[in-house]
Amino acid sequence: MGQRRVAITGLGLVSPYGGDLEDFFSRLIAGESAIHHLLTDDVPRPLSMPFVSCPAFDPDTALGKPLASMMDRFAQLGMAAAFAAWDNAGLSRGNESGTDSRERWGCAWGTALGGTLAYEKGYRELWQQGRERLSPLTVVLGMNNAANAHISIQLGLGGVSMSHTVACASSAVAIGEAFRRVRSGEASIMLTGGSDVPQAYGVARAWEALRVMAPGNAENAAFACRPFAADRRGLVLGEGGAALVLEDWAHAQARGARIHGEIIGYGTSCDHSHLVKPEVAGQIRALKDTLTDAGLTADEIDYVNAHGTATSEGDPIEIAALRCIFGDRASRLAVSATKSMHGHLLGAAAAIEAIITVLALREQTVPPTAHLQEIDPACAGVDHVTSARRQPLRAALSNSFAFGGSNAVLAFRAAMPETR
């Protein structure tokens, strides 16, 4: 079939800023943090930490109560984001037939945790309340492929339905694999993205035990995540969902779709060295493979949306990999880590950062790394964007590096004015 161009025709999200794309991006450009102080008391012991939630999201309103009741919150967020992206692409939610059957339309979804809230509820009922039976929906609420299953059912997608669980790179891998399906001609449309909800008490305590979480309190929670800063203290978890519609370029043009941008490359690698410590060589391989896949040189990349979690080991390794790839040009390479504002959404992180990268290219504006005042010398050598700025952007990368040594990088190109 040959390789086909892949257009991005739909963007949708459920974010801590709400679901409006333009408002979402403008608040990031303004450096507005959505991180807040989370205090829960409906747990064995009070849980207090910086967190990012989506307080305006009401699943019954967004999806209707019957559908929402069949889903764990991670699937609810995913379904709402998918609906938003589908509508943004100008596609019908129905199952009408046409010249291009929906049997060639598919879904690839990422989640690191799946339905942990459903499972934790079941554990509490068993061990704390002494119940002998659980809801028969527990398994289908908690299974990792629940989000893509519901998305495929509701949108009538008869092609491939894939769930990818690759820790923090989950939705990057989902997007990359969806891209390959469209580029090869196996699918004409793929809905892809990710969603996660790390609010289960056991999950939060487990992350806390890793000692990678930023400390904080109600007064300074908004500034808790400071990637690349000399005084960074760790990451901040959050919930959310984000979706993109990837479409065969000719198919998109034939139906007169608006094209937000183009996805042009995808690369993956494994550090094969340690479960939680990143390795620069593995990240370099993923970056090189992405550039090769995209048919680009390093000189053609103008912006990198960094993985940038604000951990002591992860940030310097990522910058070292970029310095290696970009060489003398690294000092002029615009780099920012938007997790400083929207937090680390685990399996949804790469999807929301892919949307940010596409919007940056579309609007020709680089969002900042918020709260970055004094740069750690170990993270120097690139052009850290600390306040948003307009500049010409031809192509950009979005990095996602995960526990388990999994690395995934996506490459995007700005759409030509006539296709927007």
**Active site positions, annotated:** 168, 307, 344
Nearest C-alpha neighbor of 201 from the set 149, 133, 147, 127 = 127
356 with 305: CB under 8 angstroms? yes
Task: Please provide residue 307's backbone torsions phi and psi, each rounded to the nearest 5 degrees.
Answer: -65, -45
Residue 152: partners with Cβ closer than 8 Å, 6 or more residues away: 106, 107, 158, 161
Cα dihedral sign for 365, 366, 371, 377?
negative
Angle at which helix 314-326 crosses helix 280-294, to 10 degrees, equals: 40
